Amino acid sequence: MTIFGKTKRGKDVTMISLQAGDLTVRLLSHGARVQDVRLAGVDHSLTVGSNELADYEGAMHYHGAIVGPIANRIGNARVRLDGMMYELERNEDGARHLHSGAQGTHAQVWQVTDRTDSSVTMALDLPDGQAGLPGNRRIIAHFAITAPATLTLAITGTTDATTLMNFANHSYWNMDGSANWHGHTLRIAADRYLPIDAATCPTGEIADVTDTRMDFRAGPVLGADTPPLDHNFCLSDGPEPLRDVLWLTGQSGVAMTMATTAPGMQIFDGRPDHGALAIEAQHWPDAPNIPDFPSIKVQAGATYRQITSWTFAT
């Protein structure tokens, strides 16, 4: 471990390097963030990162980070929980709540609690009221590499009061190290998706992908004619055992297979330049306000769990 930098508030940020088999990954304690992913024989990182902490406190604040305690959008920036209404930060266009606002987990320095050559555990305590939600919460992120080239992230969360939890890793991926993701193929094992309104919030409809441009089940080639993407693809109606759900392959032949226990996968196209795809395993967005969506409520004393893995190959 080495010191990567110091935040604007004077906290040291640690960089942790993990390696096993053909995979080397660099992580930062700021945001429990994936900063760099290297596959043997490939001359570029497969994820978009920076060597400057200032970038992560600026425009790249979500890149590679764990976002939460509520990832994605809450359309009206308020949630009702056990009869109480909680007003959340309106940090998107002054109207919506995005990725838990300025107090979210992406902006915090996590504590490194355990480390080996191929794994690291980080922990973060969120006091009651932080990010607008109840409960003293402890969040633990465990990253591990297994040979030949799989990175696995297990996130757990506990709380002493009923609260809401929906965490996601917010890495951006480009298998070719190119200027954009055009020419990649993207396959998603989802037969439904969530249409969005002009503010990119779910309308509440759960739509069939058949005969739409949101059908990625056959692995179409991405290009300039790919529809704008900032959508949740519905993998299931609740958490499932870890299973392969997404395949991304560059023109170079470098490929990523993503598995998750989560019921949703948000895809953001990185507009306007289409430089890389944000691919975020998570629960469905705005779930507290749409009764038909899988719940993100976590009872006091219960444990939130999510596992996601990325396997790379050439």
Short-list 16, 254, 302, CA closest to 138: 302
Give the contacts of 198 (CB within 8 A, at least 6 positions apart): none
Mean pLDDT calculated for residue range 271-287: 97
What is the CB neighbour count within 10 angstroms for residue 43?
7
> For residue range 3-53, what is the model confidence (pLDDT) as tens digits?
999 999 999 999 999 999 999 999 999 999 999 999 999 999 999 999 999
Assigned CATH class of 2-313: mainly beta
> For residue range 235-275, what is the model confidence (pLDDT) as tens digits?
999 999 999 999 999 999 999 999 999 999 999 999 999 99
The dihedrals phi and psi of 162, each to the nearest 5 degrees, come to -55, 135
Indicate the SS3 state at residue 172: strand
Rg of the chain in Å (alpha carbons):
18
Q: Say what the pLDDT of residue 304 is.
A: 98
Mark out the alpha helices in the chain (DSSP H runs).
53-56
- Helices and strands in the chain, H and E counts: 1, 26
Short-list 171, 181, 203, CA closest to 71: 171
At residue 122 the predicted structure's pLDDT band, cuts being 50, 70 and 90, is: very high
Mean pLDDT calculated for residue range 202-209: 98
Tell me what percent of the residues of the chain surpass a pLDDT of 70: 100
Mark out the alpha helices in 91-212 (DSSP H runs).
none
* Burial (Cβ within 10 Å: 0-12, 13-18, ≥19) of residue 163: buried
At residue 277 the predicted structure's pLDDT band, cuts being 50, 70 and 90, is: very high
What is the CB neighbour count within 10 angstroms for residue 139?
24
Q: What is the mean pLDDT of the chain?
A: 98
Mean pLDDT calculated for residue range 156-175: 98
Q: Where are the domains of the chain?
A: 2-313
At residue 61 the predicted structure's pLDDT band, cuts being 50, 70 and 90, is: very high
Question: Long-range contacts: 5-10, Cβ < 8 Å, 24+?
Answer: 5/52, 5/53, 5/54, 6/53, 7/53, 7/57, 7/109, 8/57
Tokens describing residue 76: 């009206």
